[in-house]
């Protein structure tokens, strides 16, 4: 059994990752005033692609051979996870508020279980169904639908939340696709899908601009937001992913999933620090989602009990299935 001190690096890594993802919604909201969602996504993953390309380079030519071998399916899964997910998330964020997006991210493990039921016929446990209902009620509460003033809630905000939720389905598709590449470890699957999908992100951004659907960022917009763009591309999109995977390898997948609770919590705490206290219904809704995810994780831990104890994934095992 590991000592408390030996667990500290893993805990620190998970806190860093989830706090980084919480901050993404706050800083991303500001960047959207200067850069459209499709271009923000392209810039975001251009920077993270440089980090992952460097990691692959340190591993030698083996990873690049895998990229050539699986280029098309990797590109499609990467576009779902990084293109559809990120673009719709930023589109939703442009209409809503950061705390709402952070809450939706925290529900992705439960959404994944429900989609497995629908697509694969793997019926979730009764506990999973109850926690899914609680999480859905929490999301509705955060959005204001179940609050006394919900009738007066902005339709624009509701539209943004709905778009962001659809975007999370792209991430679920991406994580489910990891099973199709059993020879790829965590870093390889993440890095290769980012690199393979980058040309598609470029085509979409340029194409939407050519069609007049999305303006390209101008020099002034880039000058005003370059610090945020650099942060979004390097910290939540690259370093946080690596930190999360390190934490999961150290503490286990179930523990890593539990730390996703900190994404909406960190977003709310940062909002308070910036002088923007959340509304009562947002605090209640976040609490409901946190409780739902904790119950979901506890049930998963008990289900794994017959295997003696929750096993720590091997160094090469994929654990990126719940990272944004």
Hey, where are the domains in the chain?
Answer: 16-322
Residue 312 has pLDDT above 90, yes or no: no
Report the C-alpha gap between 281 and 206 in whole angstroms. 40
Residue 311 has pLDDT above 50, yes or no: no
**Angle formed by the axes of helices 280-303 and 108-120, nearest 10°:** 60
Specify the pLDDT at position 254: 64
- Cα dihedral across residues 254, 256, 259, 264: positive or negative: negative
**Angle formed by the axes of helices 186-210 and 240-251, nearest 10°:** 150
pLDDT tier for residue 266 given thresholds of 50, 70 and 90:
confident
Report the C-alpha gap between 77 and 177 in whole angstroms. 7
Query: How many whole angstroms from its chain centre is CA 321?
Result: 9
At residue 144, φ and ψ (nearest 5 deg) are: 95, 0
Higher local confidence (pLDDT), 15 or 320: 15
Residue 49 has pLDDT above 90, yes or no: yes
At residue 107, φ and ψ (nearest 5 deg) are: -90, -5
Q: Let me know: does 92 contact 169? Beta carbons within 8 Å.
A: no
Specify the pLDDT at position 60: 85
Specify the pLDDT at position 319: 47
Specify the pLDDT at position 222: 93
Where helices occur in 179-278 by DSSP H, the ranges are 186-210, 219-234, 240-251, 253-258, 262-273
- Entry field: residues in the chain: 324
- In this structure, the dihedral spanned by the alpha carbons of residues 35, 39, 42 and 45, taken in order and rounded to 10 degrees, is 20
- 3-state secondary structure string across 199-215: HHHHHHHHHHHHCCCCC
- Considering the entire predicted model, what is its pTM? 0.81
Residue 151 has pLDDT above 50, yes or no: no
Specify the pLDDT at position 144: 67
Higher local confidence (pLDDT), 99 or 96: 96
pLDDT tier for residue 305 given thresholds of 50, 70 and 90:
low
**Angle formed by the axes of helices 280-303 and 126-143, nearest 10°:** 160
Percent of the chain surpassing pLDDT 90: 36
pLDDT tier for residue 145 given thresholds of 50, 70 and 90:
low
Give 118: exposed, middle or buried? Use CB within 10 Å, 0-12, 13-18, 19+: exposed
Least confident of 106-120, 231-245, 289-303: 289-303
Percent of the chain surpassing pLDDT 70: 86
Taking residues 54-68, what's their average pLDDT? 89
Specify the pLDDT at position 164: 92
Where helices occur in the chain by DSSP H, the ranges are 4-31, 37-58, 62-69, 71-78, 85-95, 98-106, 108-120, 126-143, 155-176, 186-210, 219-234, 240-251, 253-258, 262-273, 280-303
Residue 317 has pLDDT above 50, yes or no: no
Specify the pLDDT at position 87: 96
């Amino acid at each position: 059994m590991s000592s408390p001190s030996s667990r500290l690096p893993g805990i620190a890594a998970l806190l860093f990752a989830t706090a980084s993802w919480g901050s993404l919604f706050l800083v991303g909201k500001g960047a959207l005033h200067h850069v459209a969602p499709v271009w923000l996504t392209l810039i975001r993953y251009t920077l993270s692609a440089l980090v992952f390309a460097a990691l692959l380079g340190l591993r030698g030519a083996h990873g690049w051979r895998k990229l050539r071998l699986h280029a098309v399916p990797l590109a499609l899964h990467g576009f779902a996870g990084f293109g559809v997910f990120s673009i719709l998330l930023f589109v939703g964020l442009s209409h809503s508020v950061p705390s709402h997006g952070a809450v939706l991210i925290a529900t992705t493990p439960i959404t994944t279980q429900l989609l497995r039921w629908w697509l694969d016929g793997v019926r979730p446990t009764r506990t999973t169904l109850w926690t899914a209902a609680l999480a859905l009620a929490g999301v509705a509460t955060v959005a204001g639908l179940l609050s006394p003033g919900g009738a007066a809630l902005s339709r624009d905000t509701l539209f943004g939340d709905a778009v962001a939720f659809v975007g999370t389905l792209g991430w679920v598709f991406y994580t489910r696709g990891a099973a199709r590449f059993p020879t790829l470890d965590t870093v390889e699957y993440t890095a290769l899908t980012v690199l393979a999908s980058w040309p598609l992100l470029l085509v979409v951004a340029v194409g939407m601009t050519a069609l007049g659907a999305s303006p390209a960022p101008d020099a002034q917009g880039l000058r005003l937001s370059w610090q945020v763009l650099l942060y979004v591309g390097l910290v939540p999109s690259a370093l946080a992913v690596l930190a999360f995977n390190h934490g999961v390898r150290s503490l286990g997948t179930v523990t890593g999933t539990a730390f996703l609770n900190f994404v909406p919590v960190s977003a709310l705490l940062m909002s308070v620090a910036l002088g923007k206290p959340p509304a009562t219904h947002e605090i209640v809704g976040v609490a409901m989602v946190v409780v739902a995810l904790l119950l979901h994780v506890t049930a998963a831990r008990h289900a794994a009990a017959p295997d003696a104890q929750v096993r720590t994934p091997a160094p090469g095992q994929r654990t990126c299935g719940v990272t944004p």
